[in-house]
Amino acid sequence: MKPVIGIPGNILTNFSPRYNSLPITYTPQGFVEGLHAAGALPVVFPISNEENAKQYVKSVDAIVLAGGQDVSPLTYGEEPHMKLQDTSLERDKFEMAVIKEAWAENKPVLAICRGLQIFNVAFGGTLYQDVSLYPELGLQHVQESTPETAAHTVTLEEDSWLGQLYGKKASVNSYHHQAIKKLADGLRPVGWSYDGLIEAFESSDDQHITVGVQWHPELMIHNSDAAQGLFDAYVQTVIDWKKKQA
């Protein structure tokens, strides 16, 4: 049986002029294609309440957290900065419920871009509401080049899951204007950009399988073996985890 991977979805309201204001539940197609190619069955969870989050998590083998809006600073006790962009507190609360249930059940989680940020906030971490607030900012984190193009490198801990996959350095794309400020307990940083921002984390214990990346591998899967390789390796990790639970 193929592993089933749950992806908490987002709501789109501006699909086209013809369907203006028609809410549509979705996830970016790159996640679907990347997980299909890796041998998994992705399913999308519509935004819902905390009680439903628990049942959704119980119905799948693992979770992938996708990108999207800014994380509301209300979730980590701050007021909105002038450079804050669109937020969805409803999505934030639902995804944090999904995250905490997956953690409680020791189910694997791959957190991408906003996913990395909301996972960090769910366990007490904080964010720079805009990367311009980071005092050591020294490179372009919202790239001007096309999505499938690598924009900068990330230095990785060699003994980490990501380090074993990529090596000491990974060339990645970059589409984030928020970033980790304070890392949550239970997580360890394993990847940094040239200017020192945390670009990747993993769970710091042996009980949980958690990998977070600030870049967007789902946008590079057709042009980068390493990007598809991340999904391949994650799905294999889920398969191995399932065997241990049997």
Please state the φ and ψ torsions of residue 14, each to the nearest 5 degrees.
-125, 50
Give the helix ranges, DSSP H, for the chain. 29-37, 50-58, 89-104, 114-122, 161-166, 225-245
Which residues contact residue 167 at a Cβ distance below 8 angstroms, ignoring those fewer than 6 apart? Answer: 156, 158
Sheet with 210-213: list strands edge to edge. Answer: 41-45, 4-8, 62-65, 109-112, 210-213, 198-203, 187-192, 152-156, 169-172
Rounded to whole angstroms, the Cα distance separating 74 from 78 reads 6
Rounded to whole angstroms, the Cα distance separating 100 from 25 reads 22
* Other Cβ atoms within 10 Å of 9 Cβ, number: 22
Structure tokens at 153: 């490198």
For the chain, strand residue ranges (E) read 4-8, 10-12, 24-26, 41-45, 62-65, 109-112, 127-128, 152-156, 169-172, 179-180, 187-192, 198-203, 210-213
Active site residues: 113, 216, 218
